[in-house]
Structure 1
Amino acid sequence: MKGQDITHVYHFNERFVSCQPQADPVLSGLDVLLREVVHHYPPLVSNLIVASSLNFVSSLDHETKGMKILVDAPLYPEYSRLLSGLADAYGLFIFPPALPLGEYIQCMPDLRSVINHANDILSYYKEELEGETVNYLSLMAVSLGLTKQDALHQLSEKTVQAYHNTLQILRPHIEACDAFLGFFHGYFQFHSASRRYKLEEIMLEKSGY
């Protein structure tokens, strides 16, 4: 979607909640899919999935692009990442719809961190090569007064802890735990295998070739 078509994205949520037709066929497809979620998941889960998806669309708005990040707002990067990461939707999609919500809902704050920040960490090399300055790690470094390397180290430790917290919460519930482990294995493999992230360059460098 390019040019003036992107303006249709900014009006997606407004049209969605007012049941107005979308102005782009791709957005119309998304509209239909979000309205179908309720037919596949329990009410609370479907509400959270739709809310997460609408937050993602909100994060695409141009109003905050290029905004100066303040040292006095250290939590803003996390808030921004929460909106843009779709982590609640991704996280809820992990678990079978018939699984009782009580078996996994308490892991969601940690699981959200795992989903968002594993991506941030695995994207770091590619984004540094491309000179990215508005990604999560860049915003985190600025808001906390850190170098990017220090921010990466801090985020890595936080994400590892969130992973272990998620496992600890899910361990008593075998089906939920297996679903998470299967997801995480695939999530990591996806990043490792995708040329987009250029991780093979790091592996070659480490191996000396």
Structure 2
Amino acid sequence: MPNEEFTQCVRRFLKDIGFCHEPFPPYDAQCWGPFHDWMLDVLGPGSSWNDKQLVELEHVGRGIIERSYPYASTEIKLLYAKLTAIVTLIDDSMEDEAMHQDIVQFSDRVYQGETQQNPVLALYHEDLKTLSKLHKQDSVLRGLAVVPWIDHIDACLMEKQLLILECKRSEADGAELIKYSREDSLASKLRVPHYLRSKSAVSEAYAACIFKPDNQQNLPLTKYMKAIPDIVFFIEATNDILSFYKEELAGETYNLIHLRTRSIAASGSMCMSGSGPDGIWTPYDTLKLLCDELRDATHRIDGLLRLEECEKKLQGESGLNDIDDVDITIAMQWRGWRHGYISWHLECRRYKLDFLREIVEAEQHGEKSS
């Protein structure tokens, strides 16, 4: 996909949702000093990763939490940064056969109350216990916050099996290729790409933390629960869109956008005419479609959480007597995630989006100047 097409599509989406790339938060030495030490002294020795890989892992684990949870306590930020670092390491270690065998047994050992044999998985298990204790007074929120981290491990195993099939597919021809095309057509009706994406994500856990960024905070679930499904979609789709550029550079085709492209193309739907030759549906068409769906979901979340009204009340506008402090807290914590999560993708070295961040910053600076 040409850089211009990707840039145009994402810029339009960011403008449609009113994205604001805000300054990076001040360095929190109480949080990130201990996290750095933990990376060097605890996680690093338990893994097979080299120093360069661990530096990048720390960059990812720290960055998403530092950027996306401006209201989080040091305790929560540190815990979620550790979990993010570990889950990223696990996700990128599926080709490590020795670790793979331990990963296969992870969830069973959790359910049986057995000790994890792999040191990285043992750390992961202990951090999940800590996370569960933080939510001991709320079983619903605990389920949202803890269970996805466990499910993610088994989803990675499922993803590996499907990736093996994907490799076979790339070498297929003749009758085998016809079989795969038929499967794509059926998959488009069964929403398989979305199912695979949701299984491998920990989006519910990240969503739960938006509304529980501090152990002392207890926001009423009824105030934000209806927005959770769209927030989960926001987390997943934003990552799919903003990681697509680096995946295209790497030639990766096992992702939501490519899977969905093949499903739509194979379905032969007359109402889905693409931009390719003879109306062929392309990955760029899927990217645009996903951006539109994400824009609509973002607006629904903003509406449900009354973001615009809360912002107006904070600015001193009258006539908003039914907006209380709890409403404002919920809306601001969502806004903090909304802008921070996107900003993290633009800034993270993993996604190679420096060019896009510079464009967005220049546009916002121009709007402020005018």
TM-score where L is the length of structure 1:
0.91
Name 1:67's counterpart in structure 2: 165
Matched position secondary structure for 1:20: coil
Name 2:284's counterpart in structure 1: 149
- Which one of the candidate residues 189, 196, 206 is aligned to 2:350? 196
Matched position secondary structure for 1:66: helix
Identity, % of aligned pairs? 29
Matched position secondary structure for 1:67: helix
Name 1:110's counterpart in structure 2: 230
Instruction: List structure 1 segments (4+ residues) > 4 angstroms apart after TM superposition.
Output: 202-207
CA distance in 2, matches of 1:155, 1:128: 16
Deviation (angstroms), 1:165: 0.7
My pick for the range that moved more, 158-167 or 36-45, is 36-45
Name 1:93's counterpart in structure 2: 209
Q: Map residues 71-86 of structure 1 onto 2, 5 A cutoff.
A: 71-74=185-188, 75-86=191-202
Q: Deviation per CA, 1:54-100: give whole Å up to 9, x if none.
A: 22111110322233562211211111111112111111111125111
Q: Are residues 204 and 40 of structure 1, via their aligned partners in 2, closer, same or farther at CA, if it must alter by over 3 Å?
A: closer
Give unpaired runs (5+ residues) of structure 1.
none
My pick for the range that moved more, 172-181 or 64-73, is 64-73
TM-score where L is the length of structure 2:
0.53
Name 2:100's counterpart in structure 1: 6
- Which one of the candidate residues 147, 151, 154 is aligned to 1:55? 151
Name 2:122's counterpart in structure 1: 28
In the alignment, residue 164 of structure 2 is paired with which amino acid? G
CA distance in 2, matches of 1:10, 1:72: 29
In the alignment, residue 159 of structure 1 is paired with which amino acid? L
Structure label with greater radius of gyration: 2
- Which one of the candidate residues 142, 150, 154 is aligned to 1:46? 142
Name 1:185's counterpart in structure 2: 339
Deviation (angstroms), 1:204: 6.8
Question: Is it true that 1:126 corresponds to 2:224 in the alignment?
Answer: no
Matched position secondary structure for 1:151: helix
Deviation (angstroms), 1:202: 4.5
Q: How many residues align?
A: 207
Is residue 10–residue 60 contact of structure 1 (8 Å, CA) maintained in 2? no
In the alignment, residue 162 of structure 2 is paired with which amino acid? T
